[in-house]
């Protein structure tokens, strides 16, 4: 199977080849024809499976074939949960948007919070064919009359589950009331928990539902390890593993922004080039750290779940769960930062006595069974305890509906177009 057989134009096939897309992945081969014929699509596929190109290529083809007006009208809107994912999707869209012989290059605008709104308002002068946005900044720009959504023909929710997890339900509800009811809607995510499925059921019209399960043929080559360790010795063990195994590009996940700063500083004190990465940093600082990490200037990036989505780092060898993720879904996204684009990777989880029950639940929900390893010199002394998290400390969500759950339910009740 080739991209040309999916109905894409020669120009887009060539542009895809320049980005290294030569053979369609399973989600791409199924989604592209459906999107080209105008169907609503719900696409579920593992992280790193090529979901961005699966919607970017057919959207660009449909836009290039349509009428071009001045000023430009926003005809495709792509909503994403984080600044990093917005930048990544926008870059893919721009590089694929090659001009056709009889039409001008499509204009792609990328907007997100955490930076000054003025340059983004200037970039939107004259309009944009495609807008990639986080919901909050999109609404801010609309309040400034910098763009309108009345001409949107195609709406994409990328990483739809994360959009709700980050509390964007109310903002999503506002955006959905502002886009035309007659549109093509595309939902893509690695997971579709009940709240997201309810949202999809309420907004998609007779959708093509695509579910590409992980198989030996398309599953990333990620070796997974679970190492038992006392909580107070995790940093020491992390330092030992990095030096003993000569790891040179490591993404370490922690639970809090303070932990990102603290663990990075502790590693740096012992000669390991480590940098924190979290939401309290300015967008400029975050972008600089990512660029330096990609360029090999840092050996270790210590991050919150901010980096669990939308971060594509070539040749990322190791992911470490210093703190376990709150949910099994987040576990999938975290380890999916390695083993991308056909490469192999390693995911290591530190399991303390207090987190043993929580990791067992993650294993159950992900159909895993990992042996508990012990590293010589780091035999744990703490006894196992019930993993009962104190209020506000994370852990598995309870059954009582939260304010966010109620907002999700209200959003799911939005009538179909």
Would 3-215 and 221-373 be classified into the same CATH topology? Answer: yes
Span 102-161, pLDDT tens digits = 556 789 999 998 889 999 999 999 899 999 999 999 999 999 999 999 999 999 999 887
Q: Which CA distances in Å does 18 have to 14, 48, 51, 243, 386?
A: 6, 18, 17, 37, 52
Question: Which candidate, 208, 196, 185, 211, places its Cα nearest to that of 45?
Answer: 211
Residues in the chain: 417
CB 410 within 8 A of CB 173: yes
Residue 23 has pLDDT above 70, yes or no: yes
Model confidence pLDDT, tens digit, residues 363-373: 998 888 999 99
List beta partners, residue 276.
Answer: 302
The residue with greater pLDDT, 409 or 45, is 45
213-226: average pLDDT: 71
Which has more confidence, 155 or 314? 155
- What is the third-level CATH fold of 221-373? Rossmann fold (3.40.50)
pLDDT of 394 above 50: no
pLDDT digits (tens, 9 = 90+) for 397-410: 444 555 555 555 55
- Percentage of the chain beyond pLDDT 70 is 85
Q: Does domain 3-215 have CATH number 3.40.50.300?
A: yes
- The burial of 244, by beta-carbon neighbours within 10 Å (0-12 exposed, 13-18 middle, 19 or more buried), is given as exposed
Residues 6 or more apart whose Cβ sits within 8 Å of residue 261: 276, 278
At 102 the pLDDT is 55
User: What's the CA gap between 58 and 43, in Å, rounded?
Assistant: 14
- Where in the chain are the domains? 3-215, 221-373
């Amino acid at each position: 199977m080739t991209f040309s057989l999916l109905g894409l134009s020669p120009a887009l096939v060539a542009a895809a080849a320049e980005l290294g897309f030569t053979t369609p992945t399973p989600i791409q081969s199924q989604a592209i024809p459906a999107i080209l014929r105008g169907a609503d699509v719900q696409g579920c596929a593992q992280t790193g499976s090529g979901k961005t190109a699966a919607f970017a290529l057919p959207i660009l083809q449909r836009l290039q074939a349509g009428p071009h007006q001045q000023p430009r009208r926003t005809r495709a809107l792509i909503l994403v949960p984080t600044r990093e994912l917005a930048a990544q999707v926008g870059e893919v869209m721009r590089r694929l948007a090659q001009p056709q012989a009889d039409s001008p290059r499509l204009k792609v605008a990328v907007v997100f919070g955490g930076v000054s709104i003025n340059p983004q308002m200037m970039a939107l002068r004259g309009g944009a064919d495609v807008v990639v946005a986080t919901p909050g900044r999109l609404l801010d720009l609309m309040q400034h009359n910098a763009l309108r959504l009345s001409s949107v023909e195609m709406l994409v929710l990328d990483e739809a589950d994360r959009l709700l997890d980050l509390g964007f339900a109310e903002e999503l509800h506002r955006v959905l009331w502002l886009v035309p009811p007659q549109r093509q809607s595309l939902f893509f995510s690695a997971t579709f928990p009940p709240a997201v499925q309810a949202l999809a059921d309420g907004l998609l019209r007779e959708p093509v539902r695509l579910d590409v399960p992980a198989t030996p043929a398309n599953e990333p080559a990620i070796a997974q390890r679970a190492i038992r360790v006392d909580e107070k010795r995790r940093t020491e063990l992390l330092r030992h593993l990095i030096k003993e195994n000569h790891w040179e590009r490591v993404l370490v996940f922690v639970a809090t922004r303070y932990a990102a700063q603290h663990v990075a500083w502790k590693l740096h004190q012992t000669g390991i080039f480590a940098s924190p990465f979290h939401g309290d940093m300015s967008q400029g600082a975050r972008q600089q750290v990512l660029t330096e990490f990609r360029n090999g200037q840092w050996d270790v990036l210590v991050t919150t779940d901010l980096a669990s989505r939308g971060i594509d780092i070539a040749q990322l060898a190791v992911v470490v769960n210093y703190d376990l993720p709150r949910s099994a879904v987040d576990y999938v996204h975290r380890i999916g930062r390695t083993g991308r684009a056909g490469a192999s990777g390693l995911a290591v989880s530190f399991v303390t006595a207090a987190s043993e029950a929580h990791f067992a639940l993650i294993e159950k929900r992900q159909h895993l069974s990992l042996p508990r390893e012990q590293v010589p010199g780091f035999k744990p002394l703490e006894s196992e305890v019930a993993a009962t998290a104190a209020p506000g400390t994370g852990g598995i969500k309870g059954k009582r509906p939260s304010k966010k759950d109620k907002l999700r339910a209200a959003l799911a009740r939005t009538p179909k177009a």
